[in-house]
């Protein structure tokens, strides 16, 4: 893991959450391109499976919110998913943007940016998604430029087994449930932990650092909160608003 890109980037690592999602439709190639054009060195995206087993990049269980179609992603074939317009809900100029496959994102990004792949299979908790993503990572030889996260501990364990060279972080919920998860699953993700920002404190970060574990927190768009987290020595945060993050970091070099 020593040569992994994550450990070469300046801290805190700003992850462009679903791409530059304040400036382009989330989780589309336009959003990832925009983030890299804005100087992002790390991206975040969400993956799930189409009905015919292709790894597609989308946050929700359905296509309803971010496209002109409707239905569960897992009930639609890749052809049906890619026939949808995933840009016009965001702006007329981006009409025609599609829901991309993970392979299309790998082809676009290459090794230009680190990618945090969030594994979303809450509805179908089998191993197919993780196995397919691991195979794609190996086929594209991007082990050194991808990290993983999931709210599902089983995904975290399987990813670590399939791709031991890639850092993996357990995502935890806000509030008491998130605190409980970190107690119940303390060793699932020894390299990284991805808590909601409401469960992060200076003492929490210090404790994680003492055990050589990085803290990347979500989703942070408020400048004051960024400054507070940076003061606490946070390792990274997920952010929709790259301009605010850049302004804060410029004043906190």
Sign of CA dihedral 82, 72, 237, 102: negative
Among residues 123, 118, 145, the alpha carbon closest in space to that of 47 is found at 118
* Cβ proximity to ligand G3P, 79 vs 115, nearer residue: 115
Is-catalytic flag, 59?
Answer: yes
Q: Which does residue 204 bind out of ligand G3P, Ca ion, none, counting CB within 5 to 8 angstroms by kind? A: none
Among residues 24, 27, 18, 44, the alpha carbon closest in space to that of 81 is found at 27
| CB 177 to Ca ion: min, Å | 17
Q: Which does residue 219 bind out of ligand G3P, Ca ion, none, counting CB within 5 to 8 angstroms by kind? A: ligand G3P
Rounded CA-CA distance 109/252 in Å is 28
- With beta carbons less than 8 A apart as the criterion, state whether 125 and 152 touch: yes
Q: Which does residue 238 bind out of Ca ion, ligand G3P, none, counting CB within 5 to 8 angstroms by kind? A: ligand G3P
241 binds Ca ion (CB under 5 A): no
Q: Count of CB atoms within 10 A of residue 40's CB? A: 24
26 binds Ca ion (CB under 5 A): no
| CB 39 to ligand G3P: min, Å | 20
> Which of 59, 140, 194, 197 is flagged as catalytic?
59
Rounded CA-CA distance 12/138 in Å is 27
Which residue is closest to Ca ion by CB?
A: 118
DSSP state, 168? E
Sign of CA dihedral 53, 54, 57, 62: negative
Is-catalytic flag, 209?
Answer: no
* Cβ proximity to ligand G3P, 83 vs 230, nearer residue: 230
- Where does this chain bind ligand G3P (CB under 6 A)? 17, 44, 46, 59, 118, 149, 171, 194, 218-219, 238
What are the residues whose beta carbons fall under 8 Å from the beta carbon of 206, sequence distance 6 or more?
233
Q: Which does residue 181 bind out of Ca ion, ligand G3P, none, counting CB within 5 to 8 angstroms by kind? A: none
118 binds Ca ion (CB under 5 A): yes
The H or E element that residue 158 is part of is: helix 153-162
- Please list the residues that pair with 117 across neighbouring strands: 45, 148
* Cβ proximity to ligand G3P, 30 vs 192, nearer residue: 192
| CB 210 to Ca ion: min, Å | 27
| CB 218 to Ca ion: min, Å | 7
| CB 209 to Ca ion: min, Å | 24
Q: Which of residues 41-60 bind Ca ion (CB under 5 A)?
A: 46
Among residues 157, 156, 152, the alpha carbon closest in space to that of 122 is found at 152
> Which of 4, 17, 194, 197 is flagged as catalytic?
17
Rounded CA-CA distance 207/201 in Å is 10
Which residue is closest to ligand G3P by CB?
A: 218
- Please list the residues that pair with 56 across neighbouring strands: 48, 101
Contact residues toward Ca ion (CB under 5 A) are 46, 118
- Residues marked as catalytic: 17, 59
């Amino acid at each position: 893991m020593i040569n992994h890109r994550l450990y070469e980037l300046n801290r805190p690592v700003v992850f462009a959450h679903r791409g530059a999602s304040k400036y382009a439709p989330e989780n589309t190639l336009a959003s990832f391109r925009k983030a890299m054009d804005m100087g992002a060195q790390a991206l975040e995206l969400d993956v799930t499976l189409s009905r015919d087993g292709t790894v597609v990049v989308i946050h929700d269980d359905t296509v309803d919110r971010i496209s002109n179609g409707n239905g569960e992603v897992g009930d639609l074939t890749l052809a049906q998913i890619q026939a949808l317009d995933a840009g016009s809900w965001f702006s007329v100029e981006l009409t025609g943007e599609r829901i991309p496959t993970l392979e299309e994102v790998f082809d676009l990004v290459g090794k230009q940016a680190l990618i945090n792949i969030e594994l979303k299979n809450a509805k179908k908790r089998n191993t197919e998604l993780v196995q397919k993503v691991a195979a794609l990572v190996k086929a594209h030889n991007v082990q050194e430029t991808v990290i993983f996260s999931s709210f599902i501990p089983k995904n975290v364990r399987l990813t670590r087994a399939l791709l031991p060279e890639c850092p993996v972080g357990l995502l935890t919920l806000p509030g008491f449930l998130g605190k409980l998860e970190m107690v119940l699953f303390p060793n699932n993700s020894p390299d990284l932990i991805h808590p909601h920002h409401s469960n992060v404190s200076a003492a929490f970060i210090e404790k994680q650092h003492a055990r050589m574990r990085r803290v990347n927190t979500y989703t942070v768009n408020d400048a004051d909160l960024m400054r507070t987290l940076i003061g606490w020595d946070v390792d990274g945060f997920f952010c929709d608003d790259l301009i605010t993050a850049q302004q804060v970091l410029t004043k906190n070099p």
